[in-house]
């Protein structure tokens, strides 16, 4: 009998305690608190959604409250969608928040296309009604119309223009004997795991003041420097006469991949005045490839900045290749070349490398390495480079293991000061076939006078 009475008393205590928590405060003076006073989205591509913005609503009162109505002012016609504690709705009524507790509201933007080329502003607001009072949270996003390419076959000569960005889903293919011309200021964005295959010709010719962009279609700030979001630009065997000038290629798995030697006297890819950064595996990846690089800045890639496998023909002049990897546990050299197939001495490929006036530097002791198994056309011509290496045997004209003193690598500033050891150490390239068009000015457009500074920037 005593045990039964005790059990009843304990049960009554818990029931009474729970009921105390459930007391609803209906005072008109109550206010809710919010994790932010507004919800702002970065640019949203029309017909595409965004990641969620999160609003947390706090009830700092000791008793429970009931939100009579939480809704988007725009209702079902709003460009925004909300999810309240797991419930998707334009509006939700009678939402209870216990004392000293909170709820989450997730907001996503979906913007319909219109005729505008420039970004346009979309606005709405969350309205929260509590005990006869209304509190409001403004919501705003910039919408951007776009040209969408989904498993697109580019079969005729095509031009990408400045204005509306181009968004690639899955893949786009430039077919053989077709030229894709990309104008200054054009933006080509890639959805998750998308890629651009080039079997014809890519002619992407930006300018100093109006560069071309190849990157992911996620414009939220958290994705600004996130590698591996798309697969990269992939130049296939039939491809010829490719040029990328004044472009930014970033945040891919491998930014640029070239699969073969040139089919004519020109390099398979001429890469100039461009910034290659934040790629998960490599900035430039070649398989028996022909690549010429001039005045480029490459940095912050997960394994390699430049890697050439199974031989090839690589010419690099006045490039800055700097790999400090604050977010990657890298163990591979920034620049790496191999003349063999997976270490097999019976499968040797001709390898030619010519590097003049470059900086090859980073966080490792060895930032340049060769895997050499044979002597079949193995040519290394390294002159007047600043190199970080544990084997300073690439020639006496190079500067070994001397810090270039980049101004601020944390802020991606790879300019050099006047007291840098690499100032005035460049080989005279005025007779180079690319001098007039590319080498005579640095990446910032300043005149290059020999003996130049090493790398893509003059002091």
Stated as kind and residue range, the H or E segment containing 17 is helix 2-21
pLDDT score at 225: 87
Q: Read out DSSP for 287-329?
A: EEEEEEEES-EEE--SSEEEEEEEEEEEEEES-EEEE--SS--
| pLDDT attached to residue 14 | 45
What's the sign of the alpha-carbon dihedral 73, 76, 78, 80?
positive
- pLDDT of 8 higher than 60: no
The CA-CA-CA angle for residues 113, 225, 272, to 5°, reads 90
Q: According to the model, what pLDDT value does residue 383 have?
A: 96
Write out the two tokens for 145.
């119309």
pLDDT per residue as tens digits for the range 72-104: 999 988 888 899 888 888 888 999 999 999 999
Residue 316 pLDDT greater than 90, yes or no: yes
* pLDDT over 70 at 47, yes or no: no
Domain extents in the chain: 33-143, 146-439
User: What percentage of the chain carries pLDDT values higher than 70?
Assistant: 93
Are 261 and 282 within 8 A, CB to CB? no
**Paired sense of beta strands 65-72 and 91-97, if any:** antiparallel
- Average pLDDT (232-259) is 97
CA atoms within 13 A on the CB side of 394: 27
The widest CA-to-CA distance across the chain, in whole angstroms, is 107
From 218-227, 363-372, 395-404, the region with the lowest mean pLDDT = 218-227
Report if pTM > 0.85: no
Confidence of residue 46 (pLDDT cuts 50, 70, 90): low
- Give the tens place of pLDDT for each residue, 372-389: 887 766 778 999 999 999
> Which of 2.60.40.2310, 3.40.50.720, 3.10.110.10, 3.30.1380.20 would CATH assign to domain 33-143?
2.60.40.2310
Reading the block at residue 295, the tokens are 């005045």
Q: Convert the pLDDT of each residue in 287-308 to its tens digit.
A: 999 999 999 999 999 999 999 9
Least confident of 115-119, 187-191, 431-435, 446-450: 115-119
Which residues does residue 362 pair with via DSSP β-bridges, in sequence order?
323
pLDDT > 90? residue 42: no
Digit-coded pLDDT (tens) for 215-229: 998 877 778 889 999
pLDDT > 70? residue 146: yes
pLDDT of residue 9: 47
Residue 21 CA, chain-centre distance (Å), reads: 48
Sign, CA dihedral 151-156-157-160, equals: negative
What average pLDDT does the structure give for the chain? 90
- By three-state DSSP, how is residue 434 classified? coil
User: Which helix (H) or strand (E) segment is 2 a member of?
Assistant: helix 2-21
| Rg for the chain, CA atoms, rounded | 29
Residue written as token pair 């079949």: 376
């Amino acid at each position: 009998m005593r045990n039964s009475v005790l059990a009843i008393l304990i049960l009554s205590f818990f029931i009474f305690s729970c009921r105390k928590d459930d007391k609803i405060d209906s005072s008109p003076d109550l206010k809710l608190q919010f994790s932010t006073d507004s919800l702002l989205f970065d640019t949203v591509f029309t017909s595409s959604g965004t990641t969620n913005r999160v609003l947390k609503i706090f009830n700092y009162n000791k008793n429970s409250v009931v939100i009579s109505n939480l809704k988007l002012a725009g209702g079902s016609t709003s460009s925004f969608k909300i999810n309240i504690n797991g419930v998707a709705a334009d509006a939700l009524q009678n939402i209870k928040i216990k004392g000293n507790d909170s709820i989450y509201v997730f907001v996503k933007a979906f913007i319909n296309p219109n005729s505008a080329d420039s970004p346009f502003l979309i606005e709405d607001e969350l309205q929260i009604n509590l005990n006869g009072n209304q509190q409001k949270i403004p919501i705003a996003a910039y919408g951007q119309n776009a040209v969408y390419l989904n498993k697109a076959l580019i079969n005729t000569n095509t031009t990408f223009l400045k204005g509306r960005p181009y968004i690639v889903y899955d893949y786009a293919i430039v077919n053989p004997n077709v030229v894709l011309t990309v104008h200054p200021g054009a933006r080509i964005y890639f959805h998750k795991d998308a890629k651009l295959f080039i079997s014809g010709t890519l002619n992407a010719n930006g300018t100093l003041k109006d560069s071309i962009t190849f990157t992911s279609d996620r414009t939220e700030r958290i994705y600004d420097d996130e590698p591996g979001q798309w697969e990269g630009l992939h130049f296939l065997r039939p491809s010829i006469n490719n040029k990328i000038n004044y472009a930014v290629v970033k945040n891919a798995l491998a930014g640029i991949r070239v699969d073969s030697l040139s089919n004519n006297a020109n390099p398979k890819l001429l890469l100039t005045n461009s910034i290659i950064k934040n790629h998960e595996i490599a900035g430039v990846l070649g398989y028996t490839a022909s690549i010429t690089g001039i005045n480029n800045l490459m940095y912050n890639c997960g394994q390699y900045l430049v890697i050439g496998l199974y031989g090839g023909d690589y010419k690099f002049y006045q490039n800055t290749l700097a790999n400090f990897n604050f977010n990657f546990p890298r163990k591979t050299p920034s620049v790496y070349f191999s003349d063999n197939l997976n270490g097999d001495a019976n499968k040797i490929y001709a390898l030619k490398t010519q590097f003049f006036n470059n900086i090859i530097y980073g966080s490792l002791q060895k930032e340049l390495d060769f895997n050499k198994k044979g002597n079949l056309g193995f040519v290394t011509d390294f002159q007047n480079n600043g190199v970080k290496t544990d084997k300073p045997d690439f020639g006496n004209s190079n500067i070994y293991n001397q810090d270039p003193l980049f101004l601020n690598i944390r802020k991606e500033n790879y300019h050099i000061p006047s007291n840098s050891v690499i100032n005035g150490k460049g080989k005279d390239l005025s007779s180079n076939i690319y001098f007039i068009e590319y080498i005579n000015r640095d990446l910032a457009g300043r005149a290059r006078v020999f003996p130049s500074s090493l790398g893509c920037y003059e002091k």
